[in-house]
Amino acid sequence: MPDMKTTALAALMLMTGMGTALTAHAADGIVRHPEKDFPISTVIEVPAGAATIYLSGEGAPVQDRKADPHTIAAYGDTQAQTRAALESIQGELKKLGLGLGDVVQMHVYMVEDPKLGRLDFDGMMKAYTQFFGTAKQPNLPVRSAFGVAHLGNPGWLVEIEVTAVRAPVR
């Protein structure tokens, strides 16, 4: 919990325009502090009484059934895998009566694309920005992206886990 000095300083910065712009308080009480010129939030405030939902890591389902399911060819490049993983997460959330706008935290685990010889952060971002920060779905989660040595499925380049919030009924 922040001390009074920290809280007072933050309030002063916001009142004088020196702090990060706040997203308006949503009807559900969740407040998002967006990252300037980047499609993530730096901080999200969740109201008391909200339910927290943790989704296990999701990778892309097989896209090419003719390819060996233990190879990247079966799942596509980083952009295709990110898009498919987010669609899968969207489906899981829908079963719970939630959507991607309810996601407050995201961890993206990525391995090096052997064709590129590096992580394809740009490919991940191209898919991510189709789902977050759009006119249709403006809510931005806090997010971390990690480069890892391996994922559980050798064909995956990306695995994504999210935390969502169901706001309390008022």
Mean pLDDT, range 41-66, rounded to an integer = 93
**Confidence check: pLDDT of 53 > 60:** yes
Architecture of domain 49-166: 2-Layer Sandwich (3.30)
Counting residues of the chain whose pLDDT is more than 90, the rounded percentage is: 69
What are 85-125's pLDDT values in tens digits? 999 999 999 999 999 999 999 999 999 999 999 999 999 99
pTM of the predicted model as reported, rounded to 2 decimal places: 0.82
Mean pLDDT, range 133-152, rounded to an integer = 95
**Confidence check: pLDDT of 17 > 60:** no
Question: Residue 33: its pLDDT value, please?
Answer: 87
Domain spans, the chain: 49-166
What are 154-167's pLDDT values in tens digits? 999 999 999 999 98
What are 21-32's pLDDT values in tens digits? 444 445 578 888
Question: Residue 25: its pLDDT value, please?
Answer: 45
Question: Residue 169: its pLDDT value, please?
Answer: 72
Mean residue pLDDT across the chain:
85
Mean pLDDT, range 122-143, rounded to an integer = 95
Question: Residue 1: its pLDDT value, please?
Answer: 44
The answer to whether 126 and 79 are in contact (CB under 8 A) is yes
